[in-house]
Amino acid sequence: MSSLGVLPKQRHFGETTRVDAWWMQPTLVFLGFTSFIVYSTWAAFQGTDPTHCYYWYGGDGANYLSPFYSPTLFGSVPHPGIFGVTPSWWPALLPFSPAFFIMWIPAGFRFTCYYYRGAYYKAFWLDPVNCAVGEARGTYWGERYLPLILQNVHRYFMYLAVIFIAILGRDAWDSLWFGDEGAKHFGVAVGSLVLIVNVVLLAGYTFGCHSLRHLVGGFLDAKSKASACASCYNAVSCLNRKHMLWAWMSLIWVGLTDVYIRLCAMGVLHDFRFFTL
């Protein structure tokens, strides 16, 4: 089979001998992705109003930051970022949200993920619509030519994603400390658990990455000769076996984490505190 050649047309589009509900998975993927993209875009633009800081909850001594806005480089008045508030060099005609500096990294990481590629090629591009189901195109280009060759940037997004796990871990740690600066007390609230579960799920997804597995040992011809690499490789493989599950659980939970913090900041939800020492 030539990679650029014309394939012999075996089935018409959608034609298959499969008797299972093969359309179910791409349909669910389409609905899941679409819902997340719509919500996360909406949430990112909610940060354009500097008087409403619903991506951060600081009520009752808490310190919860939405993962869509972490780390906050340029924040708003209630929650200034590392470099202060809206940068003076930002074009006045463009809306500004702290999320614009952040969300392209996790978005790029997921968009180029090997699992997600397979999922959205089917669900959005119908290319093919599922395994052993007739597809619309008669040619196969693979990912060796523009624009899909750009999917190879995944390994670079992976480097950034690993750094983000450390940052979100710090956010989860911060969520366990309540009170004013200099007089904080350890405690656990629902919001703390939400942020801890968030970073655990994201870590399970990130540390099961195919590119990471290659980096820690997959590049070796005989990893058995490098025991440290072999151990790392096996650990990543362990997570990688359920990569799809980690991908979906972390995607859903990161959205719910933003929802929870947003509703607390808006005063809709009360953050229940289990205890404070």
Figure out which of the listed residues 43, 44, 103, 113 binds ligand FES, where binding follows CB under 6 A.
113
The answer to whether 133 touches 126, Cβ cutoff 8 Å, is no
Binding characters for ligand FES, 201-220, by CB under 6 A (x = yes)? --------xxx---------
The answer to whether 171 touches 70, Cβ cutoff 8 Å, is yes
Binding characters for ligand FES, 135-174, by CB under 6 A (x = yes)? -------------------x---x----------------
Q: Calculate the dihedral angle through the C-alpha atoms of 195, 82, 44, 68, rounding to the nearest 10 degrees.
A: -20
Of 264, 7, 247, nearest to 109 (Cα)?
Answer: 247
CB of 37 to ligand FES, least distance (A): 17
Question: Nearer to ligand FES by C-beta: 79 or 210?
Answer: 210
CB of 209 to ligand FES, least distance (A): 3
262 binds ligand FES (CB under 6 A): no
> Hey, what are 119's tokens?
């999922």
115 binds ligand FES (CB under 6 A): yes
**Footprint on residues 45-104 left by ligand FES (CB under 6 A):** none
Return residues touching ligand FES (CB under 6 A).
113-115, 154, 158, 209-211, 243
